[in-house]
Amino acid sequence: MLDKLKQVIQPILQQEDTEIVDIIFRREAGKQVLRLLVDRDGGIILSDCVRLNKKISQALDEGSVITEDYILEVDSPGIDRWFSGRRDYERAMHRMVRVTLNEAILDKKEYIGRLKEALESAIKIEVKKKGIIEIPYGKIVRARQEVEF
């Protein structure tokens, strides 16, 4: 079922220069809910979610992909979501990130800094007083974007 949903949804997202971060399709409070978490370089705003919801809903209805009543929710993954792969780092380029490590680099196991690069095997972040630090993906326990004030 998820493969069929992706086949219908993917072309719409590509037209909108948007990608799926996660698909959740389950029964909640007795109703089927299809929740799409989507993102793009530069981020997603509410009007993007509304537009995508209308387009995807229409395509799913025309294709009769889901045969029972359902609720469609198109949403941003949120700033406090932990990164799940390299693509998340690429989308957060030049933004502030918090990175927790499984072993210390320069005597610290957590850094907050501006993400400068997402390389094949590591990221580079710029940290106050320490400059640019390269952190291998294998040492990252978790990372996420930080709110800037």
Q: How does pLDDT run across 122-148, given as a tens digit for each residue?
A: 999 999 988 999 999 999 999 998 877
Write out the H or E segment, with its range, that includes residue 90. Answer: helix 86-91
Q: Phi and psi (nearest 5°) for 15?
A: -60, -35
Contact assessment for residue 38 and residue 52, using Cβ atoms and an 8 Å cutoff: yes
The structure tokens 């009769």 sit at 64
Residues of the chain with CATH 3.30.300.70: 2-75
Domain 2-75, second-level architecture: 2-Layer Sandwich (3.30)
Residues 43-76: tens digit of each pLDDT: 888 999 999 999 999 998 887 778 888 899 999 8
DSSP string, 2-68: HHHHHHHHHHHHHHTT-EEEEEEEEEETTEEEEEEEEE-TT---HHHHHHHHHHHHHHHHHTT---S
Check whether domain 86-145 has CATH 2.10.109.10, yes or no: no
